[in-house]
Structure 1
């Protein structure tokens, strides 16, 4: 019996997926009742929209219902996701905003705000645990090597993303970069610390140079700043290291 006229199953799957993503453009596969297709359309859309709503709540609050749903549909239609896992969809949505979203009516801080919200979710879902780290006692933040938590991310933005909301939507970047340390502590609480260029640089040095003592990192900053009073930087830097330790951004120290 010749089945050459029967649709290939893969072709049917592709047609099904195209219709689910963009029902206004692509017809449903032949032979499937529209009522049944409607259930799938609603299920898929609601899952993706619900995920984006829960992971980007501030971003959503800045859009009307119609514009928000239009953006979610555009995400479904235009973006090719590289993961089937919903917990990783946040990165996919940020990638979509970065590479495919192009709407002159979007706020200028759109991408940075979305990235900031994604980071909070990514840290909350990260499976890394901090309990296994054993610090050298007593903790010596200057003469030993401060260990930066793998769940601490130093980030730099043009807009004050941690302050943006319906009542504050800056249209111009800040005159100075915004430095944030976003982290998850040992109690699995995600928090952030607004900081300055020196603290930001200190964390960068400690992250990239695993054998660097606290004093050596601060000495490097003295050189980079060409600071005339090194002890001022060392003393202030020590206080900063203590604050970072208290927040679990630094987990403790190890011998050099």
Structure 2
């Protein structure tokens, strides 16, 4: 009996997800099946519309519906949590969205940009142990777990129903997303040095001086000049709460 019930449930689930390719289970009234199909799809579409309002508004209605239906029917999520569905949708777009034709080239990046806000709002990450007054040059600077440096090929913060670029600009969009004490996520633009420094701080644990020397060598700049600018930048980032201080 448990095996039979499992088969019936799987038949029902496959039909509800993709009625065009899977027959309905026998013995269930067509009207009832239609209610189930619309109810489940409507919940998913509503969740994604709320999580990706710019994408929803920027795509033609038919294309958005097809995109959501393809995700709903074909993509296998790794989590049952509704709060993580937006992240699964981002992964779906990163993988090519089921090879759907005609999708804008900026779609995956815009989805990631929209997802970042909800990810930071829901984050329960703990800040690492740190010394808020530590020496930022000789100590190991630590970036807040609620501050994310971001880099995009497309101008994701500008895309809207009225602005949908056909070509990516020459310069990437360098941004900082940070959940502040007001429990809101704030986005700001980053200069190339600030983005490179924050990315370096996240990737390896070494002194602030070593980070700045490596950045200077990478761009062929004078170490002392970068050291002076970099220290001022680290101090400013600490004042903003982006850099917590140094490793305790």
Is TM > 0.5 for Structure 1 vs Structure 2? yes
Partner of 2:213: 219
Looking at CA atoms only, which structure, 1 or 2, has the larger radius of gyration?
1
Q: Any residues of structure 2 matched to 1:35-50 within 5 Å, and which?
A: 35-50=31-46
1:184 alignment counterpart: 179
The yes-or-no answer on 1:248 pairing with 2:248 is: no
Is structure 2 residue 46 aligned with structure 1 residue 53? Answer: no
Q: Are 1:112 and 2:109 matched, yes or no?
A: yes
Deviations 1:1-60, CA, capped at 9 Å, x for gaps: xx9xxx922221111011111223323211112333233222211111011111111111
> Structure 1's 248 and 23: CA in aligned 2 closer, same or farther, altered over 3 A?
same
Cα distance, 1:138 vs structure 2: 3.4
Structure 1 unmatched ranges of 5 or more: none
Deviation, 1:66, is 2.2
**Does structure 2 retain, via aligned residues, the 8 Å contact 1:90–1:118?**
yes
Q: Which piece of structure 1 moves more, 48-57 or 96-105?
A: 96-105
Q: Provide the residue aligned with 1:136 in structure 2.
A: 131
Length-normalised TM-score, structure 1: 0.86
2:229 is equivalent to residue 236 of structure 1: yes
CA distance 1:100–1:213, shift in 2 (3 Å): closer
Per mean C-alpha deviation after superposition, the further-off stretch among 180-189 and 145-154 is: 180-189
Task: Say which is worse superposed, 178-187 or 67-76, in terms of deviation.
Answer: 178-187
On the 8 A contact 2:49/2:56 being kept in 1, the answer is yes
Number of positions where the alignment pairs a residue of Structure 1 with one of Structure 2: 246
TM-score (norm 2): 0.89
* Cα distance in 2, alignment partners of residues 96 and 254 from structure 1: 37
- Describe the superposition over 1:133-160 as per-residue Cα deviations: whole angstroms up to 9, x where unpaired: 5643535333332211122222221111
Query: In the aligned structure 2, how far is the partner of 1:143 from the partner of 1:10?
Result: 61
Aligned twin of 1:200:
195
Change (3 A) 1:137 1:162: closer
- Pairwise CA RMSD: 2.2
Runs of 4+ in 1 over 3 A off after TM superposition: 137-140
Q: Is the 8 A contact 1:159 1:173 kept in 2?
A: yes
State the 1:237 CA deviation: 1.4
Q: Residues of 2 paired with 1:98 and 1:112: CA distance?
A: 8
Distance 2:83 2:12 in 1: 24
Q: CA deviation at 1:100?
A: 4.4
Deviates more, 1:59-68 or 1:179-188: 179-188
SS of 1:183's equivalent in the other structure is: strand
Residue from 82, 89, 104 that aligns with 2:85: 89
**Unaligned ranges ≥5, structure 2:** none
